[in-house]
Every structure is written in structure tokens, then in C-alpha cells.
Chains A and B, each alone.
Chain A
């Protein structure tokens, strides 16, 4: 579909690799600029009684800080910048994609998988550096009867390797499905004409609202799962 196509804006080939600046990269840049701009304007003149922009930034910050504290605990607050950045990037990626002529960076599994694998590898490295080989005890839940232990270790290993897949697949599938659904229903508006076209129009209106909600919730879920994985790495059991 046209809206998911990657178009190079200007070509750049280095050492045989295609490093062209694409529309996907453009919207990633937009997301970064938008989040930087939001926090720049929010913190430019801080007041005791917050202005509109400042309260947006404060609500976002507190939302993330509570999430990190609830899931990892006080010692997890040093990962707050990472989680918060991730949340903002995914959120703005989702929301900017809903704008007309927008490109949804999170509707490509390459993007979400890169984020998810980076998180997963990072959490694993943190886990091993904090607990050493003791981190392997994550694979054997407490109080397992020895008879089923080997089997359970296999299952837990499997579920550890599922993490990056489900993390990336969830965000990608939700964003992709939403946009395809909108596209299909919007196509019905034209083909049904003036007489019946307003029925899918109402549906598109409703689904657009739903998509805004999905964009927010998926960003939240992505950040939440990052917290949960980091919690396993930081606190083990």
C-alpha cells in the first residue's frame, strides 16, 4: 500500500550499503524534533503554576516516573531517561503517522524489531552485569519441583526468547492493522458514492478516534514491557 512505501528522499551509498535518507528516517527525525521542541518550550520559562505546555511535559514525566517506580522500584529510576525517551519516540511515531500525508514509522517491523531487540539485548546485558551467572536463575522459577525442572527451564528459555518478538510484533501489528483498516473503509466511501458513502464515513470517523487511543496505548504498553524486562534484569527475583 502506498502509505507504507519507503521512498528515498536523497540517495546515499557508503561502502556498498544503501544509507539513503528515506521518508521513514524523515519522520523519525520529526519525532525527535517534536519531542525536543515540546520539552524545550515546556521548560523555557518554568513557573510554579504550570503553563499549558509545562503541564503536558509534567504529566508525561510523572506518568513515566510512576510507571518506572511501580515496576522496577526506586533503584530503577536511573533507567527513567531511557524508558521516557523510548515512550516519547514510539508515541510521536504513532501519532505523527496519523496526520494526513504522515508516514507511520512504527508500522514497519524493521523499526519496531530494532527497538525491541535493542531493549532485549540491553536488559540481558544489565542482568548479567548485575548478577553474573546468577542471572540464569531467572530461567528456573522459585519452588520448582526437581522432577519438572529441566522441562521448565526449556519453557522459560523459550519465553525469554519470545520477548523481543512479541514486543516488536505487537506494536507493528497494531499500527499496521489500524492503518489498513482505515484505508479499506475510506475506499468504501468513494465506491459507495453519495447515497451510501456516509455509512463507512461514520465508521472511519470512529476508527480514527480509536486509532488515536491505540497510538497512545501501544506507546504505553511498549514502555511498560520495557520496564518489566528491566525489572527482571535489575531485581531478578
Chain B
């Protein structure tokens, strides 16, 4: 005599199990979506903080380099002007790159699962989507 025989009463029916599983999965998905949104928000703040300084730093580096070269070569103010504009261009390009990267991340968060799997596999790099 074994206890293996399925006790008819306590075994939940397949439909019951399926319904409960579905409910749990739906709840899980909802919670995950919330977490995903929160993560997106934190990343957004992070990106916002990056962009401002990126522009400032690029002009500062350009200006510093320009003044240094002018001082050495006594060509004031040619290099200063050239380097500041070059630096600003580089800064704007960096900002464009950051926002492009953010676009890719947004596409991944908001659906497009198939595309997601394709773009996500090789680690998305900062420069790949540059140009």
C-alpha cells in the first residue's frame, strides 16, 4: 500500500494551476515594468547630469589647449579660437552621441522585443551608434 495514489480532493486541476500561474506572471510582469521605469528614470537623471558638464568641459579643454599653444608658438589668438570651436564641436558631438544612446535604450525598454534581442546581443557601444 502506497501513499502515491493521487488524492482526488487536494490535487488542483490543471485549469486552476494555469489560472494561478497566469495571475502570478501578470503580477511579476507589472512589478518588473515598474522597476524598469524606475531604472529608466534614474538613468535619465544620470544622463542629464552628464550633458551639461560635457559641454562645459569640452570648451574648457579647448580653451586651455589653445592658450597653451598660443603661449608656446606666440600665435595669439589663432589657436585659442580654433581650439575653442573645435572643443565645442567635440562637446556637441559627445552630447549627440549620449542622446542617441539614450534613444537606443528607450527603444529597448518600450517593447520591440525582437529588435531588442538583436541589438542587445553585441554589447551596445558608445561609438557604434555614433555615426
Answer yes or no: B69 CB below 8 A from chain A CBs.
Answer: no
In the complex, how many residues of chain B place their beta carbon closer than 8 angstroms to a beta carbon of chain A? 31
Q: Which one, B22-30, B42-50, B70-78, B111-119, is touching chain A? A: B42-50
A-B pair count, CB < 8 Å, reads 90
Nearest Cβ distance between residue A138 and chain B, in whole angstroms?
A: 7
Q: Is the interface of B mostly helix, strand, loop or mixed?
A: helix
Given contacts A71-B123, A169-B57, A217-B46, is CB(A155)–CB(B128) below 8 Å? no
Is A235 within 8 A of B45, CB to CB? no
Is B58 within 8 A of A217, CB to CB? no
Mask of B71-87 contacts with A, CB within 8 angstroms, 1/0: 00000000000010011
Given contacts A156-B90, A158-B62, A221-B49, is CB(A166)–CB(B57) below 8 Å? yes
Q: Which of B61, B93, B123 has the most CB of A within 10 A?
A: B123
Is A218 within 8 A of B49, CB to CB? yes
**B58 CB contact (under 8 Å) in A73, A159, A228:** A159
Nearest Cβ distance between residue B110 and chain A, in whole angstroms?
A: 17
Q: Which one, A10-18, A35-43, A141-149, A200-208, is touching chain B? A: A141-149
Between-chain CB contacts (< 8 Å), 7 pairs: A141-B131, A155-B90, A158-B62, A159-B90, A170-B50, A235-B125, A237-B125
Q: What would 11 more interface pairs be, CB under 8 Å, given A69-B123, A162-B94, A165-B57?
A: A71-B123, A162-B61, A165-B61, A166-B54, A169-B56, A170-B49, A173-B53, A221-B46, A221-B49, A235-B123, A237-B128
